[in-house]
Amino acid sequence: MNYLDKVYSKSDSIVFRKIADEFILVPIRQNVGDLESIYTLNETGARIWELIDGKIKVREIKEKLIEEFEVTPEEVEKDILEHLVQLEKIKAITLGLED
């Protein structure tokens, strides 16, 4: 299956916060924030995170990013794929159900 047809859900064990001009992800372990493992997202990564809802396909995220940012479809695909790989690696997202 093409990754653009996949749907991702956010992990319940990650908290997203915007502090000043930074976007951060904080893993929650045993009901406590793991401050040793804070992840910082750039603006694109933060927008991808915001759009992941367990219902929207990666293809739709791509279309929204093309509308919102001045980037080519190729640049968006590269950025999305890199961010999804990293988010999966830190267990911030899981693969959901596809149509």
CATH number at residue 36: 1.10.10
Cβ neighbors of 67 (< 8 A, separation 6 or more) are none
Residues 38-57 have pLDDT tens digits of 899 999 999 999 999 999 99
Q: Which domain holds residue 17?
A: 3-95
Residues 66-81 have pLDDT tens digits of 999 999 999 999 999 9
Q: How many domains does the chain have?
A: 1
Q: Under a CB-based contact definition with an 8 Å cutoff, are residues 8 and 94 in contact?
A: yes
Mean pLDDT of the 20-33 span: 79
Our CA angle for 55, 68, 19, nearest 5°, is 80
Both tokens of 24, joined, read: 């951060």
Integer Rg of the chain from CA: 14
pTM for the model stands at: 0.87
